[in-house]
Structure 1
Amino acid sequence: MHLPVLSTSHLVLRPIEDKDTAALFRHFSKDAVTKYMDIDSFSNISEASHIIQFFRESLEKEEGMRWAITFKEKEEELLGTCGYHKISKVHFKAEIGYDLHPDYWGKGIMKEAISAMLSYGYEELQYNRIEAFVDPENIASSKLLSSLGFRYEGFLRDAFFEKGKFVNAELYSLLRQEHTRESIF
């Protein structure tokens, strides 16, 4: 599977590379970034190397893909990441995940990045359904998905075991016929 570069009016979504190791470490060592994720905050730079390798292996196995989110004029500066995981070709669906450095929260960056990712998923990968699982306390993520047209499908009790405890989740989805190109910046 190939991971293309995706461009929007302000952003470039590009493959994560070894040169991103230090930036990924700084990013994922922030508790604010990993608070609602299924990973602990990084405490060692080797964890960043391992996650890059994990992203590569997921792509090779056609199970997932992850982009670095950057500004067009500063492609070396990592703002966050986004991508697909739990890809199911047989069911024409995938789950999305995303994270953004706190300095860029509330600026529309993630909406722009995910809009590009959704268009790629529906148009190029031929997904019919894209899902997202959200911690019920992560109000910003729920609002983001709603603004992109995702529908709330339900509350899942003790859906995941993360960081030593069971956590609830909200399930959101967006079907191909519900996605509009107007959501792209």
Structure 2
Amino acid sequence: MNLEVFPALKTERFILRQMSIEDAPAVFEIFSDADVTKDMGEDPFKSIEQAEDLINFMNNLFIKNKAIRWGIFKKEDSTLIGTCGYNGWEIHRGSRGEIAYDLGKKYWRKGYMTEILKCLISFGFETMGLYRIEAFTNVDAIPSINLLRKIGFNEDGVLRGYSYSHGGYVDNRCFSLLKSEWN
């Protein structure tokens, strides 16, 4: 799969678009919160430069056709409230992609991510041509686990020592949704 132009996506309340360096202050605000970064295996950001580096890193992964990460912007006032995207995809030995997402804490539990992930999943199946979409969570990330189940993901199991987080290897739950299961 090779996207030549970074696509903008729209939902009822949000625009998903490529982030730029001008978005760094909002990215810093989100990722400097320990509650947001806890399940990402990263320490909270300490400087605006870390936010700039993250934006450049994400945009470079898109240029290299390795990943795509959108900023999530509220339509009403263009506020950046989080990010979402595909951390990668495999099209040679199957047709699957891995989604990931985050939101600023003040936007949690408002139904925003349900709306956003439905758009992201449709893009994966319809535009990217994926057959399987995967998501990985920490074993105790109950809000994320509940979100994935709510939108139709099935838990495939626990992957032992799957990711490196805060100085050690941790188990992750693997979830998947097949194109044939998507409404």
TM-score, with structure 2 as normaliser = 0.94
How far residue 10 of structure 1 moved from its aligned partner, in angstroms, is: 1.2
Provide the residue aligned with 1:79 in structure 2. Answer: 81
Give CA deviations for 1:132-169 in whole Å, capped at 9, x if unaligned.
01001110000000011000000112211222111110
Corresponding position: 1:167 with 2:165 = no
Contact 2:97/2:132 (<8 A) preserved: yes
How far residue 3 of structure 1 moved from its aligned partner, in angstroms, is: 2.1
- CA RMSD in angstroms, aligned pairs only: 1.0
Contact 1:33/1:101 (<8 A) preserved: yes
Provide the residue aligned with 1:94 in structure 2. Answer: 97
Contact 1:62/1:87 (<8 A) preserved: no
Provide the residue aligned with 1:56 in structure 2. Answer: 59
How far residue 79 of structure 1 moved from its aligned partner, in angstroms, is: 0.8
Could you tell which deviates more after superposition, 112-121 or 89-98?
Answer: 89-98
C-alpha separation in 2, matches of 1:125 and 1:172: 19
TM-score, with structure 1 as normaliser = 0.94
> Alignment partner for residue 10 of structure 1, among 9, 13, 20?
13
Could you tell which deviates more after superposition, 88-97 or 105-114?
Answer: 88-97
Contact 2:18/2:59 (<8 A) preserved: no
Instruction: Give the aligned length.
Output: 179
C-alpha separation in 2, matches of 1:24 and 1:166: 26
Could you tell which deviates more after superposition, 80-89 or 133-142?
Answer: 80-89
How far residue 80 of structure 1 moved from its aligned partner, in angstroms, is: 0.6
How far residue 173 of structure 1 moved from its aligned partner, in angstroms, is: 0.3
C-alpha separation in 2, matches of 1:54 and 1:88: 20
Contact 2:68/2:88 (<8 A) preserved: no
Could you tell which deviates more after superposition, 153-162 or 142-151?
Answer: 153-162
Q: After TM superposition, which residue ranges in structure 1, 4 or more long, deviate above 2 angstroms? A: none
Contact 1:63/1:88 (<8 A) preserved: no
Provide the residue aligned with 1:147 in structure 2. Answer: 150
Name stretches of at least 5 consecutive residues in structure 2 with no aligned partner: none
